[in-house]
Chain A
Amino acid sequence: MDQAKTVLITGGAILLDWFYRSTMTGRAMRAIAQKPVAAGLMGIDVRRMALLSFAAAAALGAFAGILAAPIIQVSAAMGLLLGLKGFLVAIIAGMSNARGIVIVGFAYGVLERFIEGFGNTSLREVLGFGIMILLLLAFPNGLFGKREVNKV
């Protein structure tokens, strides 16, 4: 079961990466994220792409929920902390870098288990979030994000 899960997650991530980089739809999505107006001028239906991204994000979130359900306690509010950490991981990695997000997400998961081994769950949140804040201060554009030059 666990092996099947690992294969499923890894395969899904690789497939998603291929979709973003190599298909027209994936490129269009990245284009509207960077410059919606310019993307619209190139004939991309911005509204439709935004809808599609929202739908895809929801589906992926649900998929993550299905995978997480057997290992954590299922409750109506289970998504809050999980979603928060997902968001945090995305920001630390650099919003628009899918590969970076996978790496940071993996590292964060390992870190959490490591802290848990020494302390308890509340220590896990304190240290985990504390480290995330420090990382964000040291790398304001994310670990894998591109540096933006501030033009006047």
Chain B
Amino acid sequence: MTLRSLFSPGLLSSLAVAGALCLVPLLVANTFQLRVVMLFLIYALVALGLNLLVGLVSLVSLGQAGLYALGAYTVAILATKTGAGFFPAMLGAMAVTAVAGVALAYPTVRVRGVYLAVVTIAFGLIVQNVAIDWRALTGGTLGISNVPRINLGAGPLNTRDLYWLIAAVTFAGFVVHHNLMHSRVGRAMRAVAQSETAARALGIDPIRQRVLAFVLSSVFAGIAGGLYAYLNRYVNPDTFSFSDSIRFLLMVILGGAGTTFGPLIGAGVLTWIPNLLQAFGKWQLFAYGALLALVIFFLPKGIAGSVRDLWMRLRRGRTQVTREAGSWPRPSEAIDTILKVEARVRGPVLQTRGLTIRFGGLSAVSGVTLDIERATVHAIIGPNGAGKTTMLNALSGFYAPTEGSVTLLQDEVGGRSSDRIARSGLTRTFQNTELFADMTVEENVLIGFHARSTAGFLSTLFRLPGFHREARRQRERAALLLDYVGLSAYRDETAGNLAFGHQRRLEIARALAMSPEILLLDEPAAGLTHNEIDELIALIRDLKRLGLTVVLVEHHVDMIMAVSDHVTVLDYGEVIASGPPSAVRDDPKVIEAYFGASLTASGESA
């Protein structure tokens, strides 16, 4: 481990937070102030959890107060009615909120955006009203009082001890939050938020990522709720209203969604501002609202987000360099070992039998039977609207076949989800390149490794040695792939800023990071210059040499003739010709499909 990696930004920020937490007891004058700090730490914990949801998977929850309430009530009920100690009660709160998190994540399978926001609002209101109404369990509007003090074995904790406990829990939350954000799991979550389609093509299951984010954010809120119950020693429904949910979301947005320190800053501002504004007397609430509106209007990325942007701009201003992309592909032995495909099964790698895709009454693809052989380049061509892209979508699992079958490596995959198909060894690029536009070039490639990573979730959260080893190896491999496509100079550039041709290259490099056996390219030559097309031809030949099977949908006739081993022609969703390029080119049915019947007819009559 080098000195540089020892003093990583992550470690430094953790040390800064730990230092600040240790200083607090020295700085506060009385227990009242200490209690305000503790309340801030509890809010910060909720905000950190919510930031995983808002900042990583871009889902907005307006029901966080409901989860916070579940945690608080679970602890209060367990502690007063069963006499449970601190650890069992907190574990209970975590379990209850984790289950609620799964239940809340379920709607995201089907609804997103405002729809999801409404579901979470409704959830929060349901929890609050159940707390009001289920008097036998929750004490109704009066709530539950006399929650016992925490006793860890050496007598009840006093206020100062309680502070250390809450500070330790919040610090642990901060570290877990930071580690998750800067790991392959956080990266996969951001990928899902930016382009679900591309994430699926790279073998990432979007539902899994969303459920994970929801459960984590719920458990954070649950732990915070439990601590609140112990701090306040009294819980009642008023503390968990819809406006509290809004405040939690505001903390995240005001601080800066998706940043490490944002939630802490946001929670801090919203805890102390009301105290500072007391000077305004009856105008206090008005001043509070106006201040928030102004900050969000002028700093749409939040406080931490705006500071980060400013810092990036200052740094970029200093290091202005001209960069050039290298020529590609650049084969090397190292690349060969990454991409080389060992034949595990005999026979065609991809087959369809009577494949039919219907939308309503319209058949986009009907009765297509194909055999795609290993280590060949198989082109699918046809006039516009012939069903080529639909065919690719069916092969890669984005559409389920209405009839017929798709067999990948001797395995029936019809109807299987696209991310599972990707993990089985088939990936693709898209007609309108689907990059993760807000991430760097290197991150785009790293996401390609996600599905093949072995470092587990816990090793990611707590940065065990396996995590660092794998992260280092993946960065080395990403560098090799970027060199292969000639984009090394752009490693830290934001992908969305790349020139169009370079975006294509990056998309291919990202797909290759999965070490696929079969690569589907959807119109890779569209919009490229002659030079770039020649390079693309060289790339496809090189991939074939390495044993990859390339399925190509393309309009560019010269390119198809140059690289294809086999050409299948579709027209109105049906195969009208299939064979070697030279044979297909002269097939009268193909000429008719492209130029119309009248041309051949008038040619004969003339």
Mark A residues whose CB is within 8 Å of B.
80, 84, 87-88, 91, 120, 122-123, 125-126, 129-130, 132-133, 136-137, 140, 149, 152
Q: In the docked arrangement, what's the CA distance between A122 and B131, Å?
A: 9
Q: Is the CB of A133 within 8 A of B242?
A: no
Q: Cβ of A129: which chain B residues have Cβ within 8 Å of it?
A: 122-123, 125-126
Q: Is the CB of B107 within 8 A of A133?
A: yes
Q: Cβ of B106: which chain A residues have Cβ within 8 Å of it?
A: 137
Is B398 among interface residues, defined by CB-CB distance under 8 A? yes
Q: Which B residues from 103 to 126 make CB contacts under 8 A with A? A: 106-107, 110-111, 114-115, 118-119, 121-123, 125-126
**Shortest distance in angstroms between B67's beta carbon and chain A's nearest beta carbon?**
15
Q: Assuming A88-B122, A129-B123, A130-B122, what are 6 further A-B pairs, CB within 8 angstroms? A: A84-B121, A84-B242, A133-B107, A133-B119, A136-B107, A137-B106
Mark B residues whose CB is within 8 Å of A.
106-107, 110-111, 114-115, 118-119, 121-123, 125-126, 129-130, 132-133, 197, 242-243, 359, 389, 393, 398, 430
Q: Cβ of A140: which chain B residues have Cβ within 8 Å of it?
A: 110-111, 115
Q: Cβ of A126: which chain B residues have Cβ within 8 Å of it?
A: 126, 129-130, 133
Q: In the docked arrangement, what's the CA distance between A87 and B117, Å?
A: 11
Q: Is the CB of B114 within 8 A of A91?
A: yes
Q: In the docked arrangement, what's the CA distance between A120 and B111, Å?
A: 31
Q: In the docked arrangement, what's the CA distance between A136 and B110, Å?
A: 9
Q: Is the CB of B126 within 8 A of A130?
A: yes
| Interchain Cβ contacts under 8 Å between A and B, 17 examples | A80-B242, A84-B242, A88-B118, A88-B121, A88-B122, A122-B129, A122-B133, A125-B125, A129-B122, A129-B126, A132-B118, A133-B122, A136-B107, A137-B106, A152-B389, A152-B393, A152-B430
Partner of A132, one of B122, B242, B243: B122
Partner of A133, one of B114, B123, B132, B398: B123
Q: Cβ of B125: which chain A residues have Cβ within 8 Å of it?
A: 84, 125, 129
Q: In the docked arrangement, what's the CA distance between A84 and B129, Å?
A: 15
Q: Is the CB of B119 within 8 A of A136?
A: yes
Closest 5 CB pairs of A and B: A129-B122, A122-B129, A140-B110, A122-B133, A125-B129
Known: A136-B115, A137-B107. Contact between A123 and B133, CB under 8 A?
Answer: yes
Q: In the docked arrangement, what's the CA distance between A22 and B318, Å?
A: 58
Q: Cβ of A122: which chain B residues have Cβ within 8 Å of it?
A: 129-130, 132-133
Q: Cβ of B130: which chain A residues have Cβ within 8 Å of it?
A: 122, 126
Which residue in chain B gives the minimum CB-CB distance to A77? Answer: B243
Q: Is the CB of B359 within 8 A of A152?
A: no
Q: In the docked arrangement, what's the CA distance between A129 and B243, Å?
A: 17
Q: Cβ of A91: which chain B residues have Cβ within 8 Å of it?
A: 114-115, 118
Which residue in chain A gives the minimum CB-CB distance to B243? Answer: A80
Q: Cβ of A80: which chain B residues have Cβ within 8 Å of it?
A: 242-243
Q: In the docked arrangement, what's the CA distance between A137 and B525, Å?
A: 41
Which residue in chain A gives the minimum CB-CB distance to B110? Answer: A140
**Shortest distance in angstroms between A77's beta carbon and chain B's nearest beta carbon?**
9
Q: Is the CB of B359 within 8 A of A149?
A: yes
Q: In the docked arrangement, what's the CA distance between A53 and B447, Å?
A: 42
Which residue in chain A gives the minimum CB-CB distance to B116? Answer: A136
Q: Cβ of A130: which chain B residues have Cβ within 8 Å of it?
A: 122, 126
Q: Is the CB of A125 within 8 A of B359?
A: no
Q: Cβ of A84: which chain B residues have Cβ within 8 Å of it?
A: 121, 125, 242
Which residue in chain A gives the minimum CB-CB distance to B132? Answer: A122
**Shortest distance in angstroms between A92's beta carbon and chain B's nearest beta carbon?**
9
Q: In the docked arrangement, what's the CA distance between A39 and B415, Å?
A: 38
Which residue in chain B gives the minimum CB-CB distance to A76? Answer: B285
Which residue in chain A gives the minimum CB-CB distance to B124? Answer: A129
**Shortest distance in angstroms between A57's beta carbon and chain B's nearest beta carbon?**
15
Partner of B398, one of A123, A136, A152: A152
Q: In the docked arrangement, what's the CA distance between A84 and B62, Å?
A: 12
**Shortest distance in angstroms between B181's beta carbon and chain A's nearest beta carbon?**
29
**Shortest distance in angstroms between B269's beta carbon and chain A's nearest beta carbon?**
23
Q: Cβ of A87: which chain B residues have Cβ within 8 Å of it?
A: 118
Q: Cβ of B132: which chain A residues have Cβ within 8 Å of it?
A: 122
Q: In the docked arrangement, what's the CA distance between A129 and B119, Å?
A: 9
Q: Cβ of A88: which chain B residues have Cβ within 8 Å of it?
A: 118, 121-122
